[in-house]
Amino acid sequence: MARDWLSHFHPDERGFADKADEWMERAAERHTVKVTDFLDPRQVEIVESLANRYSGQAALRFDGGYPEAERRRAVIVPDYRDPEQEEAAIAVLAVTSTDERISTLEHGDYMGALLGLGIKREKVGDFHVRPDGCHVLVASEIADFLNLHLRQAGRVQVLTEILPLDRLVRVETKLEEMTISVASMRLDGIVSDVCRVSRAKALIPIQAGRCRVNWKTEEDPSKPLKAGDTVSVQGFGRFRILRAELTKKDRHRVTIGKFV
């Protein structure tokens, strides 16, 4: 098929979109089964849109280890096969410790520990951090490696165990709420207030392509945001717009949930 459709995607997304189209094409024409790495919500959206191009030829499902998972693997099969019958190959890596300092560890500590072992982010799904440890959804093909080599997170010595999915202990995502008052719902203004930097400094990561709105790269500082949008800024973290209302003085009172 011609690749003209790639122009509909942001330049940063075209490489992934092209690869995803190849997965669908191979399932449709070569009858192969593909289980992808963990995809973020924007990548899931791209794969879903491409699946429409192969309607009647290929089928797919997404699985992140539990129904509400943010990061999910795609299972792509020829249309005559049932994707529900194919394994998504996901395991739970349980991380614990006898050191009481494990209660101080956060998402970034566990992520850093895994990436420090040379693991690609795409091989890891959601993290469920608790005071006594963490359950991490991982690709089954790396579970044994992690179980053997992960011995430290942050400054804490840890123990690991591989568990089946039905033993996953889920933790609801915590959001630290804050309220700001802005003249408009422009991306740069809200990033400036939430991240407590000047408007000029907020522009730098946005114009450099290091800002995502709903997991899609956004380089337009004037992009209007709305309730429900999730924004991530490299180096500053991630937040969600929970509520937005117009005040009597025509300003916007915005309630932000910062991921912690």
Q: Which pLDDT tens digit goes with each residue over 23-67?
A: 999 999 999 999 999 999 999 999 999 998 899 999 999 999 999
Beta bridge partners of 130: 133
Mean pLDDT of 98-117: 95
**Cβ-contact 171, 128 below 8 angstroms:** yes
With bands split at pLDDT 50, 70 and 90, how would you rate the model's confidence at 191?
Answer: very high
pLDDT of residue 3: 65
pLDDT of residue 72: 98
DSSP string, 22-46: HHHHHHHHS---EEEEEE-HHHHHH
d(CA 58, CA 77): 6
Q: Which pLDDT tens digit goes with each residue over 79-96?
A: 999 999 999 999 999 999
With bands split at pLDDT 50, 70 and 90, how would you rate the model's confidence at 7?
Answer: confident
Domain over 4-85 is classified CATH 3.10.150.10: no
User: What percentage of the chain carries pLDDT values higher than 90?
Assistant: 88
User: What percentage of the chain carries pLDDT values higher than 70?
Assistant: 99
166 exposure class (CB count in 10 Å sphere: 0-12, 13-18, 19+)? exposed
Listed by start position, the domains of the chain span: 4-85, 90-167, 175-259
pLDDT at 104 over 60: yes
Homologous superfamily, domain 175-259: RNA-binding S4 domain (3.10.290.10)
* Pick from 203, 233, 76, 95: nearest CA to 156: 95
| Class at the top of the CATH hierarchy for domain 90-167 | alpha beta
With bands split at pLDDT 50, 70 and 90, how would you rate the model's confidence at 1?
Answer: very low
DSSP one-letter code for 186 = B
Q: Which pLDDT tens digit goes with each residue over 138-165?
A: 999 999 999 999 999 999 999 999 999 9
* Pick from 122, 117, 121, 120: nearest CA to 160: 117
